[in-house]
Structure 1
């Protein structure tokens, strides 16, 4: 039976009435004064991670939110009213919850172990297929990293043809590594060639780019294989810039496109193929330097590729980094670390499935977001990772969240006009953001609920300067400052400046922390946000797994493309036609 609109749900109307009556007057400073145990009541710690080396434990502190026990209970009641648990069970049992495409949603299967309970779709345990592809990926990664997979010349891809200068540089580089006690062992054990001369170029777009690109950067410290570069933009400068820095003899291209027809990806792939053959002049060499992540074998073979990794239509692009789409990650970080990434997500999958709603991390984050976005009307949300390796996480989550829940129709086709669905999500790595947009967070007229993400374990200091302590001090200080504000500037401040040094405070934040950033905790973190998105979509009653909104622009672009070559004339508004005319006049 179809759910009523959220705005017609009795629990939602209670929440709206509560906010209008008392919620808008709530002050976090007073809430902390009234309850010394507030942190204990409004935080969750997951301290049973499988191995201490995996970066546990995990902490979510949501005490700096404008919620009371009464509000929190109503939010939990709302989750039950919106049949969240039934929808969650349907996803885990391979129900076709992507209703507009009649598909199951099974990214959870991508990180399952082969001995986990079966996930049956159309009479088949999908974990068997997932395991088969993971085994294929493992062998391929090991062959490439260990030099079993060779380039078109028959040499190991990690072999070098060094000039005298490079030989001297190599000796200096290895001498520095071997005398530096603080550098992680992986750096010592990695060949010079793998670090400096052997590259993977991943050509994809959307989920075939954002996820693996973000994870590869996040796991830079764990590099044991070839450095991964990523090309997504059809703007030729993106591909050209990467090709300037690679050698065709020691480069492996990964073409990531399920249909092998994605316009931007195939344009870049054909250009990379053309560049490669101009250097090599041997079509048969394609098979040694190009592999595909696709289901369209005829198109792949026509391209000249003989090695293909499969994935499935029950996995949406923005949830696909756990599949063969993560091949670039597994090559750079090693398959063992890729497996730990999957295990971290699997740990969170089990937590999301089994933990009670009031202690369920993705559920809590999602409900707070609904409270702010749909009840109060704050339309924006910031993700602020205090680790430079996670600098691409906000961009990755933009696609995951905004493409999933940027919807205005319910599952039954009702138009949504009376409440907000997906928020505008944005952010940047701290502390850079503090010198950019935090001014608006602290003193602007808009309230932006924010997630602060950090890692407790100290990294190596440089020249005795405690960089990590400075970083963590800022991470701790910002949520505190956003909450307490400065409502009574010092009497020593001139009266005319006091309005400018007034900080209203009472601005909500979550703090998310683990011991350290590892493949396992990264997998846990990403899966946490995936399930948060699912929960919010369930409450809003939207399909979080289609993306029809991206289609119209693509269709119009295909129609306009021949017009830009002067081959056709379209029927456009005066603005669009004026832009086309300007390009025709000035673009040649």
Structure 2
């Protein structure tokens, strides 16, 4: 089975310079796209398509803080948190970072009392970003034990309570509007838990991360412990703002500053590099090739490093909430497929679970492998060697396949994959990697023609949940009404 008009093995056979032409370094990260069906002609066609879609202008608007979120009339200023944006926005971001740093250092000095645990309540980007950062970077040198709770299911909080001392716990509430129902209910339950344990001045142990500081003030949080961020920073792009406070607190301010520096390096690459040698651009062009030309409806991301286990989940929100749309900027139905479904996990676990389908199934899923040269542990080097050899072997096997007279043991090959190779996992490299995915998502949006910065698709279900809570489900469809009756709502 050959996915493209030319098999991957033949692309290598016909182009001795293919590896050099389709792999290079950007912002300290090595990208290898050579095991995909892209070629020079498709790059040229993709760059021409970007020109027709006014990509340079859209990128300029993003970089200079002009309106790119047209449905809400807003800029998207996450890059301003890293130093690229409108002058005033960059200045405000720096001032808010200085405020955050002051609170981080005050807590480190014990000015909020003795703290050993942090319960961070937030959902969506307010959860996924901090969780990814601390899990990837804080395994050995974390100053505090962080518990990130997003699910409104009380079992999530009960698990955190079982691991925390209420007298030594800091509550961090992350909500852009400070009205997110799941987050505010979880926050109230944490306070109740602290009060029942006899903690004095529970509100003195709360930090609020929000774009609406007045709401946090009304809720009872002291002004000195409210860390604002701009409402032009979207939730899934917000870890660079005060939403990253838990990471700065657990890892230290220097680590957070390095994270911003790494992202800024990728910003410069994206803004300045020629499109044909621009990592986010090439990645997006490949995404479009497989979705549009070959009808691939998913993209699998497998991290061959335990420290990046949260990355696939982070990317699910980033990519599917950004580009899972059905209309263009003018509100007209899209003439092409939107974002594919992003999914994945960690290697080598996936090899013994889902890779059967990837190698021999009838569904073709472009793969993305992430590997790290330097291990994060000092155990026998055989651990890391086996991990990396498995990563390389899987990518090669997907492409080359292997014929057998026994059909059940025959591998068709020609399954595409990209390999992203990091020298090490540190704040700088992780910042660059996350920024790469952000810009890739933006380029995809330009190619699709949709707005990647709104998310109205998440609103209807929340609205209907409120309606059921307020007036019951009798007015809903018969199935929902019957289920609600059985539940007792």
TM-score normalized by structure 1? 0.80
1:145 aligns with 2:108: yes
Say if 1:286 and 1:305, in contact at 8 Å, map to a contact too: no
Q: What residue number does 1:41 align with?
A: 21
Q: What residue number does 1:520 align with?
A: 428
* CA distance in 2: counterparts of 1:461 and 1:252, whole angstroms: 32
Q: Deviation at 1:375?
A: 2.5
**After the TM superposition, which residues 323-334 of structure 1 pair with which residues of structure 2 at under 5 Å, given as runs?**
323-334=241-252
Q: What residue number does 2:134 align with?
A: 216
Q: What residue number does 2:91 align with?
A: 128
Q: What residue number does 1:75 align with?
A: 46
Q: What residue number does 1:503 align with?
A: 411
Q: What residue number does 1:316 align with?
A: 234
Q: Deviation at 1:454?
A: 0.9
Gaps in structure 2 of 5+ consecutive residues: none
Q: Which secondary structure does the structure 2 equivalent of 1:59 belong to? A: strand
Structure 1 residues 538 and 465: CA distance shift in structure 2, 3 A:
closer
Structure 1 residues 105 and 33: CA distance shift in structure 2, 3 A:
same
1:371 aligns with 2:289: yes
1:414 to 332, 353, 367: 332
Structure 1 residues 234 and 240: CA distance shift in structure 2, 3 A:
same
Say if 1:228 and 1:329, in contact at 8 Å, map to a contact too: no
Q: What residue number does 1:574 align with?
A: 478
Q: Which secondary structure does the structure 1 equivalent of 2:41 belong to? A: helix
1:454 aligns with 2:399: no
* CA distance in 1: counterparts of 2:427 and 2:313, whole angstroms: 19
Q: Which secondary structure does the structure 1 equivalent of 2:163 belong to? A: coil
Q: What residue number does 1:531 align with?
A: 439
Say if 1:111 and 1:322, in contact at 8 Å, map to a contact too: yes
2:304 to 386, 397, 414: 386
Gaps in structure 1 of 5+ consecutive residues: 1-21, 50-56, 158-197, 490-494
Aligned residues between the structures: 486
Q: What residue number does 1:119 align with?
A: 86
Q: Which protein has the larger Cα radius of gyration, Structure 1 or Structure 2?
A: 1
Say if 1:222 and 1:333, in contact at 8 Å, map to a contact too: no
After superposing on structure 2, the runs of 4+ consecutive aligned residues of structure 1 that deviate more than 4 Å are none
2:462 to 530, 533, 554: 554
Q: What residue number does 1:162 align with?
A: none
Q: Deviation at 1:377?
A: 1.2
Q: Provide, for residues 232-289 of structure 1, a one-character-per-residue CA deviation record: whole Å limited to 9, x for no partner.
A: 011111111101211122110100112211100001011111111111264xx12331
* CA distance in 2: counterparts of 1:415 and 1:84, whole angstroms: 20
* CA distance in 2: counterparts of 1:134 and 1:559, whole angstroms: 39
Say if 2:167 and 2:194, in contact at 8 Å, map to a contact too: no
Q: What residue number does 1:545 align with?
A: 453
Say if 2:152 and 2:185, in contact at 8 Å, map to a contact too: yes
Q: What residue number does 1:236 align with?
A: 154
**After the TM superposition, which residues 427-506 of structure 1 pair with which residues of structure 2 at under 5 Å, given as runs?**
427-462=344-379, 464-486=380-402, 488-489=403-404, 498-506=406-414
Q: Provide, for residues 370-421 of structure 1, a one-character-per-residue CA deviation record: whole Å limited to 9, x for no partner.
A: 11112221111011111101101000100000000000000011112x4211
Q: What residue number does 2:487 align with?
A: 583
Q: Which secondary structure does the structure 2 equivalent of 1:94 belong to? A: coil
Q: What residue number does 2:183 align with?
A: 265
* CA distance in 2: counterparts of 1:42 and 1:296, whole angstroms: 45
Q: Deviation at 1:102?
A: 0.1
